[in-house]
A and B are shown apart, each in its own frame.
Chain A
């Protein structure tokens, strides 16, 4: 008989920390080397110091707030448009045939290409950023909503017909529960697109936000600030993913995909 010994920390964690430390050390060394100086790359320590300095700067916080507001507002409008329209199209065969060509064309049109037009119409304002965010994030949401309606169990549909459930009941008890995981996937994708386009529109268009701060730092050759902002944006992206992950655990706790052993 053999007794197993339990470990106190997951084995992978050491490896992960080692990789991060290794990369950090490489960055630091490169930044201090002659090649790094020539390429104007600041070492990690300077960037981190600048990051701390930024957190003390109120204009940074207002820029961050602007970016988050743009993303959130754009995402809200995206959901309000994308989910109902998507559900309608998915449930209605004629509607889905009518719109398939249009959706297939528009989903691949890069929304950033409309940035010059939006700049002319709205100027370098929040409206411009939100409009670009909505144009780009609505397609994944729409497509996932349409996809979601196709996923419901045919047996359940037949049961609902046998019991002559009303349209509303069918929607509430059959479509919505089976659709919610897919809607959530759409929300996750749309959320990352919303953040990306938010920062892009601010960067390219000059609307207030992290993107504009980044552009200013780049133009003024403040490379430590540039790197600090890149790290912060990465953190934002990670944070968004983490929020979505937690939200999924909360809202979809009943779904098999959340309840199976990982």
Chain B
């Protein structure tokens, strides 16, 4: 019990003291670039809760959800197809490697040429960027399924669709979730970048616009909002992952106990 309390203290002291340090150091701040933390938080309180939330944060969140969902569905779908069909997969590998290695900002002009600068471009950008880790991890996960499982399925003449849904996908799900986590992180980056170059609207645009108008307090407020958004997105994702992969954690813990 005491050890737990001590651990919590150790976890908490650094963020709290850094926050306090920032607060006190910036209290009398005259610099335009680094306004007082007090003012930033006041501004955040005023505008983001809840006025700007509706106009800027919510559209961004919705776009992120839309893009990420497309990436997950398409990524898993294509991943399963490629994972099951190794000839197709090796044939398409070079193209996938090429497109995946291209820095996504370089692809931004392509999206702008095809889709303009509106909602579709932003959602498409998020989906396109986030799909690759999911796709590749799904392929790896499907490939790595225990051959025993597939052999048993064949022996029992289980239908292919059932095999995929009930054997392959659950077995590959730790890998898929790992890929989805990476995809979420880069999806957030793509969201910010696409909003910075696209039509007005969204957190990314808000931050850039605030800087253009030299409203630094608003800019920092936007950064805080973005940080919270990213943190919440990953926190929620971890919750979902934790529920879905309880069996996997149990297996890993048993292995660890077996080793030590």
Contacts and interface: CB of A to CB of B under 8 A. Distances in A.
A20 B95 contact: yes
Contacts of A119: 211
A176 B154 CA distance: 46
Contacts of B106: 199, 210-211, 214, 229-230, 233-234
A199 B105 contact: yes
A248 B112 CA distance: 37
Contacts of A230: 102, 106-107, 109-110
Contact of B98 (A15, A104, A211, A238): A238
Interface stretch (A58-66, A80-88, A94-102, A254-262): A94-102
Contacts of A223: 113
A70 B212 CA distance: 25
A218 B117 CA distance: 13
A217 to B, nearest CB: 8
Given A18-B91, A218-B112, A110 B189 contact: yes
Interface in A8-30: 12, 15-16, 18-20, 23
B211 A120 contact: yes
A116 B109 contact: no
Interface string A89-109: 000001001111110110111
Interface in B186-217: 188-189, 192-193, 196-197, 204, 207-208, 210-212
B7 interface: yes
A6 interface: no
Interface string A151-179: 00010000000000000000000000000
Interface of A: 12, 15-16, 18-20, 23, 39-41, 94, 97-102, 104-105, 107-117, 119-121, 154, 192, 195-196, 198-200, 203-204, 210-211, 214, 217-218, 223, 226-227, 229-230, 233-234, 236-238, 240-241
B247 interface: no
Nearest to A225: B109
Given A15-B87, A98-B14, A204-B193, A113 B103 contact: no
A195 B7 CA distance: 38
B147 interface: no
A170 B150 CA distance: 45
B197 to A, nearest CB: 7
Chain B binding surface, main DSSP class: helix
Interface string B213-242: 000000100110011001101100000000
Chain A binding surface, main DSSP class: helix
Given A39-B113, A94-B10, A97-B7, A113 B101 contact: no
B103 A105 contact: no
Contacts of A117: 33, 211, 219, 223
Interface of B: 7, 10-15, 18, 33, 87, 90-95, 97-110, 112-114, 185, 188-189, 192-193, 196-197, 204, 207-208, 210-212, 219, 222-223, 226-227, 230-231, 233-234, 260
B91 A101 contact: no
Contacts of A112: 189, 192-193, 196, 204
A190 to B, nearest CB: 14
A12 B95 contact: no
B105 A234 contact: no
B133 to A, nearest CB: 11
B103 A116 contact: no
B109 A109 contact: no
Residue from A112, A119, A199, A210 having most chain B Cβ neighbours under 10 A: A112
